[in-house]
Structure 1
Amino acid sequence: MIKTELTTIEGRNPVFEAVAANLPIEKIYISNKAYGSQISKIIAAAKEKGVPFKAVPPDKIDELAKTEANQGIVAVCAEVSYVTVADILNRAKEKQEPPFVIIADEITDPHNLGAIIRTANCTGAHGVIIPKNRSAGVNPVVFKTSAGAAAHTPVARVGNLTQAMNELKENGLWITGADMAGEQEMCDADLTGPIALVVGSEGRGITKKIRAGCDFFVRIPMAGEINSLNASVAAAVLMYEALRQRRLK
């Protein structure tokens, strides 16, 4: 495991998932004006796991929070774990499934990255790979947007994305790029085997160097006047197509 700092996790579902996933939480702060079944559920889980929690005035929550959607609760963490590419591949091996990996190429918007991690978890991807440079990291906004999925989905943050892709290839994965000019529509491509799906940023798409390392490209069929999707939406469509094919196999 590779450690990195993460200041806060905010919002009721993200905090609950962080407790459930045994993330290293130093303390949970709960507004004394916050009520409801989810708050009770978090308190019960914190007691069970031995995680300290404290009721505080709403102003204290606002002081600690880094987003505006804290829902009256903030968990302060010492660190969160990034994994290695090998860890992601081992996860697929343990599940006895063909590896399914998502590569986020220079996704700088933390909301997009959080949404991609959330969908990766929902579709059974074994992990997400991001570059250290020119990319959002797993920060409080990413954690919040992922609805807690970042606590369960392994994320590898690598210094050289090309080297990571080569490591995947050496382990039998095909590198599949998402591109509106791809040679195959997603429904015609075989996404059932060991694959890594590369998603580029909005505007730029997949960078030139990473494109050169892709084995083939797939496109999403379009029927309207607009011929492009938000990066996280495009990633979601392709991930669910991969899940559909894998379930039919």
Structure 2
Amino acid sequence: MSKLEIIYGIHPLIEAIQSKRSISKLFFQIGWKKKCNPYYKKLISLSKRENIPIHIVPKNKFHQLNNKNHQGVFALLSPIETYSIEDLLPIFYEKGKNPLLLILDRITDVRNFGSIIRTAACAGVDAIIIPTKYTALIGSDSIKTSSGALFKVPICQEKNIKKTIEYLIKYGLKVVSATEKSNIYWYKIDFSGPTAIILGNESNGICPKYLEITSEKAKIPAIHGISSLNVSVACGILLYEVFRQREFK
């Protein structure tokens, strides 16, 4: 956490949110509800309105602020601006783009996260969608592992990924899941039109409720008893298949 800017205290945080500072996560110390005065309630309300993830954590999470009047709450500032895909997608179409999006379902390893974003920037991805919770922290480590690509590809934080997928499908995008639970190899899928590709959690893959509603499922085979590829490697294979189909028709 020392590598990220921290804001602490109720009133500074309220001011930061009202000033549209990009806040990555908000942390409350266990027992904060006992102090639930109107300002705490206002902070909670503003955070929910702005879809800022809220975490209830033990006292030891505040060890860096022991000599500060943190009032049981602090936040990490995001080094980048985040967006909503509903705001960006119409702009892509207005510009005549053939949108290519990535949806990262609970990618928590910062090295995988950074590597994926670097590959996405190289392959021409228009935006990356991540959940507000259960995702790698956007900070100096992810900026470093992405070689600065975090500043080049718009990041969209969405509270409800299932609704986001449904929105993309209604908007005319083909949503493709990268999963070994398929009989269709990745190169047999048509990526020529507007597309969103979902990559799943390093341990559990893509959430089943997302798999149920996706348009198609792409399989990348693995042999010698290995169940699947590293998620950042799978990302590169899929994105450059999209590139191949679109650039070398």
TM-score range, shorter chain: 0.5 to 0.7
Partner of 1:218 in structure 2?
218
How far residue 129 of structure 1 moved from its aligned partner, in angstroms, is 0.2
Partner of 1:20 in structure 2?
none
How far residue 227 of structure 1 moved from its aligned partner, in angstroms, is 4.2
Once the two structures are superposed, what CA deviation does each residue of 1:42-75 show, in whole Å capped at 9, x if it has no partner? xxxxxxxxxxxxxxxxxxxxxxxxxxxxxxxxxx
Partner of 2:246 in structure 1?
246
Alignment pair present for 1:4 and 2:27: no
How far residue 88 of structure 1 moved from its aligned partner, in angstroms, is 3.5
Partner of 2:177 in structure 1?
177
Alignment pair present for 1:147 and 2:165: no
Give, in whole Å, the separation in 2 of the partners of 1:99 and 1:147: 23
Give, in whole Å, the separation in 2 of the partners of 1:232 and 1:206: 14
Alignment pair present for 1:105 and 2:123: no
Once the two structures are superposed, what CA deviation does each residue of 1:158-217 show, in whole Å capped at 9, x if it has no partner? 111011112211210011000113231111110111111000012200012221221110
C-alpha contact 1:104 1:199 (8 A) present in aligned 2: yes
Give, in whole Å, the separation in 1 of the partners of 2:196 and 2:98: 11
C-alpha contact 1:3 1:80 (8 A) present in aligned 2: no
Which amino acid letter does the alignment assign opposite residue 190 of structure 2?
Answer: D
Which amino acid letter does the alignment assign opposite residue 154 of structure 2?
Answer: P
Identity of aligned residues (%): 33
Larger mean Cα displacement after TM superposition, 189-198 or 210-219: 210-219
Partner of 2:198 in structure 1?
198
Which amino acid letter does the alignment assign opposite residue 130 of structure 2?
Answer: I
Partner of 1:228 in structure 2?
228
How far residue 91 of structure 1 moved from its aligned partner, in angstroms, is 4.9
Instruction: Give unpaired runs (5+ residues) of structure 1.
Output: 7-76
Normalised to the residue count of structure 2, the TM-score between the two structures is 0.66
Partner of 1:122 in structure 2?
122
Shift in CA distance, 238/78, structure 1 to aligned 2, threshold 3 Å = closer
Shift in CA distance, 203/194, structure 1 to aligned 2, threshold 3 Å = same
C-alpha contact 2:221 2:228 (8 A) present in aligned 1: no
Question: Aligned with 2:199: secondary structure?
Answer: strand
The aligned runs of 1:64-83 (5 Å cut-off) are 79-83=79-83
Partner of 2:136 in structure 1?
136
Question: Aligned with 1:119: secondary structure?
Answer: helix
C-alpha contact 1:186 1:220 (8 A) present in aligned 2: yes
Shift in CA distance, 79/214, structure 1 to aligned 2, threshold 3 Å = same
Once the two structures are superposed, what CA deviation does each residue of 1:137-175 show, in whole Å capped at 9, x if it has no partner? 322211111101000100001111011112211210011
Which amino acid letter does the alignment assign opposite residue 240 of structure 1?
Answer: Y
Give, in whole Å, the separation in 2 of the partners of 1:87 and 1:183: 35
Partner of 2:189 in structure 1?
189
Instruction: Give unpaired runs (5+ residues) of structure 2.
Output: 1-19, 25-76
Extract structure 1 runs of 4+ deviating beyond 6 A.
none
Shift in CA distance, 181/239, structure 1 to aligned 2, threshold 3 Å = same
C-alpha contact 2:110 2:137 (8 A) present in aligned 1: yes
Question: Aligned with 2:188: secondary structure?
Answer: coil
Shift in CA distance, 210/78, structure 1 to aligned 2, threshold 3 Å = closer
Which amino acid letter does the alignment assign opposite residue 107 of structure 1?
Answer: I
Partner of 1:66 in structure 2?
none
CA RMSD of aligned residues (A): 2.0
